[in-house]
């Protein structure tokens, strides 16, 4: 039994450049704890292109800083600090486990971080990663920066491909986070804490089963502006039998254009997503906590959104669907909610029980949109007389068109209003003129009916036998009472 801890690697410099497959590594091959890696540069750290990659074996391509374990001992930690950190062309900062030992934590402190993806001949993306390839759990990531840019397939992730769990990720970016583009036509830029199903080559190399059993981790992002575009994603999904993780995003603005935020699962319970922002805009994008993508009985996850403005346009979707399990719950709290005609919010189950959608808003702009299994509750009335169960759907046919932007004024949704009747000048009452105390008896309408031509008529007494289309007026009905909103 080896009990001695692995040695630490400490580097202090103004600039550090690793290139052409150069490596800094600390690995334990026993049950002893691996060594730690500490790199502190007052100016910059750069992991650059391997210009001789085509002359090396595939495993020699990557330039990296890594602490790992291949046995029962836990890997050491990785601590990186610099003013500017750049990773490109497959370069990697990593903590990994290939055995039963656990991976360790990665901490990165830098004013600016840029991670640029891979070239077509490369086998791995440029990344900061905590990975688990066996039964050991992956480590966690903590990134503190002013700005983080992931471009053309750049990756930040904590992942598992076997029975180990993915670790947590916390990113604090003072100014902004940008996740954009793909490497070629496949590898997107992404941030994830996920469990992934390995391909055949990886399965043979690490001798793992095709179906991983680990659970997804949690992902927390705090920033002023989060921009996802060009196929970029944020996810805590699970392609194995385990459950999805959790996503918590706190940002002043969240702008997703041709991108996604998801916690979907193949078999297990869908993950949970919580977004808190002043302005959320989805354009040709999706937010999903859908479960059972391989037609299993996992329940859909929950989606919580709180924002001053929520805009869904160009076929955007918010879904918490399921196949055999129960659909998830979606709750959106926003003073202004805008939904284009080809966008959708849904919490359905193909063969199980539908979930619920609650949209709490004071300004609603919906144009022929689908809001499935939903409850719209700016104010709630409870019908104590009707034997029918409450409805969980909302269908609104708009007048067409959408606001030019989230800051435009919204169309009034005050309902019925009385138009002023013109009064001749001679009919005006002077301030000192005595007013007649006798008033004409006015019968208040107690219902209304659809005339079938786009107009409605008010009725004195709704009689279902005489007029089956009449409805009770909420003004005088004794069946309707205010109901508190949970």
pLDDT number for residue 418: 41
- The CA-CA-CA angle for residues 228, 231, 233, to 5°, reads 55
CA distances from 456 to 170, 461, 470 (A): 56, 15, 10
Interval 184-200: pLDDT, tens: 767 899 999 999 887 77
Which pairing describes strands 272-283 and 246-257: parallel, antiparallel, or unpaired?
A: parallel
For the chain, give every domain's residue range.
1-251, 282-406+477-486
Q: Is residue 55 helix, strand or coil?
A: helix
Interval 427-473: pLDDT, tens: 433 444 444 444 444 444 455 556 665 555 555 555 444 444 444 33
Closest CA to 414 of 454, 364, 457, 346: 364
| Portion of the chain with pLDDT greater than 70, in percent | 71
Neighbour count for residue 458 (Cβ, 10 Å): 13
Neighbour count for residue 295 (Cβ, 10 Å): 11
Cβ-Cβ contacts under 8 Å for 78 (sequence gap 6 or more): 36, 37, 65, 66, 67, 93, 94, 95, 104, 105, 106, 107
Rank 225-234, 363-372, 461-470 by mean pLDDT and report only the highest: 225-234
Interval 231-255: pLDDT, tens: 999 999 899 888 889 999 999 999 9
Whether the predicted pLDDT of 218 surpasses 60:
yes
Q: What's the CA gap between 392 and 347, in Å, rounded?
A: 11
Cβ-Cβ contacts under 8 Å for 385 (sequence gap 6 or more): 478, 479
Yes or no: say if 29 and 56 are a contact pair by the CB < 8 Å rule. Answer: no
Yes or no: say if 207 and 158 are a contact pair by the CB < 8 Å rule. Answer: no
Residue 289: both structure tokens together: 């906590």
Interval 88-112: pLDDT, tens: 988 999 999 998 999 999 999 999 9
Mean pLDDT over the full length of the chain: 79
Whether the predicted pLDDT of 171 surpasses 90:
yes
Please indicate whether residue 33 or residue 42 has the higher confidence score (pLDDT): 42
pLDDT number for residue 374: 44
């Amino acid at each position: 039994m080896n009990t001695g801890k692995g040695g630490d690697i400490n580097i202090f410099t103004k600039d550090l450049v690793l290139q052409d497959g150069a490596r800094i590594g600390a690995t334990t091959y026993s049950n002893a704890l691996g060594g730690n890696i500490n790199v502190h540069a007052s100016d910059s750290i750069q992991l650059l292109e391997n210009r001789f990659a085509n002359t090396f074996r595939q495993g020699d391509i990557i330039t990296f800083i890594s602490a790992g374990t291949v046995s029962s001992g836990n890997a050491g930690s990785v601590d990186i600090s610099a003013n500017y950190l750049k990773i490109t062309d497959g370069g990697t900062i990593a903590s990994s486990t290939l055995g039963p030992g656990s991976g360790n934590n990665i901490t990165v402190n830098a004013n600016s971080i840029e991670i640029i993806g891979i070239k077509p001949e490369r086998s791995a993306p440029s990344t900061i990663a905590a990975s688990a390839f066996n039964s050991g759990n992956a480590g966690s990531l903590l990134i503190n920066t002013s700005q983080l840019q992931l471009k053309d397939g750049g990756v930040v992730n904590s992942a598992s491909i076997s029975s180990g769990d993915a670790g947590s990720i916390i990113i604090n970016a003072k100014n902004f986070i940008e996740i954009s583009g793909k490497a070629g036509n496949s590898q997107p830029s992404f941030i994830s804490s996920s469990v992934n199903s390995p391909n055949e080559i990886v399965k043979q190399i690490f001798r793992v089963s095709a179906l991983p059993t680990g659970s997804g981790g949690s992902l927390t992002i705090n920033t002023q502006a989060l921009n996802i575009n060009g196929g970029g994603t944020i996810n805590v999904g699970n392609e194995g039998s385990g459950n999805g993780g959790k996503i918590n995003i706190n940002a002043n603005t969240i702008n997703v254009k041709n991108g996604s935020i998801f916690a979907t699962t193949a078999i297990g319970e869908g993950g949970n997503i919580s977004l808190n922002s002043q302005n959320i805009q989805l354009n040709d994008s999706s937010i999903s906590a859908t479960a059972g993508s391989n037609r299993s009985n996992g329940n859909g996850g929950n989606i919580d959104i709180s924002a001053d403005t929520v805009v869904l346009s160009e076929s955007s979707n918010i879904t918490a669907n399921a196949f055999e399990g129960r659909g998830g719950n979606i709750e959106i709290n926003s003073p202004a909610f805008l939904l284009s005609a080809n966008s959708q919010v849904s919490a359905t189950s193909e063969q199980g029980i539908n979930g619920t959608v609650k949209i709490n808003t004071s300004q609603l702009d919906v144009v022929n949109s689908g809001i499935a299994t939903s409850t719209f509750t700016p104010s709630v009335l409870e019908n104590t007389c009707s034997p029918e169960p409450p409805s969980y759907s909302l269908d609104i046919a708009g007048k067409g068109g959408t606001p030019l932007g989230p800051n435009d004024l919204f169309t009034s949704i005050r309902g019925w209003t009385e138009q002023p009747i013109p009064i001749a000048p001679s009919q005006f009452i002077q301030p000192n003129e005595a007013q007649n105390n006798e008033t004409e008896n006015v019968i208040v309408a107690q219902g209304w009916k659809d005339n079938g031509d786009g107009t409605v008529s008010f009725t004195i007494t709704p009689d279902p036998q005489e007029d089956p289309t009449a409805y009770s007026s909420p003004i005088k009905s004794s069946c309707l009472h205010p109901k508190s909103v949970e």
